Amino acid sequence: MTSSEERDATQAFLDSLPELESGESFRFSCHPGVRCFNACCSDLTMPLTPYDVLRLRRNLGMDSETFIAEHARVGQYPDTGFPLLHLRMSDHPLKLCPFVSDEGCTVYPDRSSACRTYPLGRATREDEDGNVVEQFFVVQEEHCRGFEETKAWTSATWLQDQGLEPYYRWNDAYMSLMARQRRTGTVLGPKHATMCLLAFYQLDRFADFVRGVHLFSRLDVDEARQERILADEEERLGFALEWAELVLFGDCATLRML
């Protein structure tokens, strides 16, 4: 299947779901008292965004190389060549998520954006001004008994309750970078793909790279921000996205360092 066919198939799937309009509510709750508790935490094709990996690594106290080796499969988006990671399921016969237990999610405070969003699906696109336009869909699977619960949500209250604001902010920034790449009609070569994997998904190693090549000496980054970049991985991820856009396209629409 080509990348355009994959996008068409994804859009067809989303179109088959009931769209949740702004202010419209749905009923859902997930807790150990729900009969299907943990049933959705197996045999998943779970994408991991750069911010997902940052939060999971921090929760687990793991360096990026170990995390990727133990918990991720590394691939590429077929239409851009940008790195794409998926969560590696366990060797359990049911292919369980490696972080699920009988009591629930063991990394719950730092679970991925896809887990947080469920049972909603989210589709985004950029308008003519580069703003993110989002749509939400209710993903009501037959096995899920959570929809029999009485708690009512709108998309806005669900997103707030699940702490999704920082996830979507970082995820949309990555998607925006790929959208610009799609508009150029070119695919990243192996060298740039490896660079992006390092900068976005291996922020601990990226700090060593920044120091090792004296990257700040080539850019107008004030000392206070340099310190924040090297000390804080969220700040470093923002810098990584800006730097990658500068390297790939020669400019950055949101560049703060020049």
Task: Identify whether 47 is part of a domain.
Answer: yes
Do 48 and 150 have their domain in common?
Answer: yes
Examine the pLDDT at 8 and tell me if it is beyond 80. no
Is residue 27 one of the residues assigned to a domain?
A: yes
pLDDT tens profile 51-67: 999 999 999 999 999 99
Q: How far apart are CA 159 and CA 179, in angstroms?
A: 24
Q: How high does pLDDT run on average in the chain?
A: 90
Please answer whether residues 136 and 26 qualify as being in contact, where contact means their C-beta atoms are separated by less than 8 angstroms.
Answer: no
Judgement on whether residues 36 and 142 belong to the same structural domain of the protein: yes
Number of domains in the chain: 2
Half-sphere exposure of 74 (CA within 13 A, CB side): 18
Residue 9 and residue 86 share a domain = yes
Range of the domain at 55: 3-175
Task: Quote the pLDDT of residue 71.
Answer: 98
Give the pLDDT score at 168: 97
pLDDT mean over 138-159: 94
- Please give the share of the chain, as a percent, with pLDDT higher than 70: 92
Long-range contacts of 102-110 (CB under 8 A, 24+ apart): 102/38, 103/32, 104/32, 104/37, 104/38, 105/41, 107/56, 107/59, 107/60, 109/59, 110/55, 110/56, 110/58, 110/59
pLDDT above 80: residue 256: no
pLDDT digits (tens, 9 = 90+) for 162-189: 999 999 999 999 999 998 888 888 778 9
- pLDDT tens-digit readout, 101-121: 999 999 999 999 999 999 999
Please indicate, yes or no, if residue 66 is contained in any of the structural domains.
yes
34 and 79 assigned to the same domain: yes
Q: Give the residue-averaged pLDDT of 77-85.
A: 92
- Residues 141 and 75 grouped into a single domain: yes
Instruction: Determine, yes or no, domain membership for 257.
Output: no
Are 140 and 221 members of one domain?
Answer: no
Residues 162 and 219 placed together within one structural domain of the fold: no
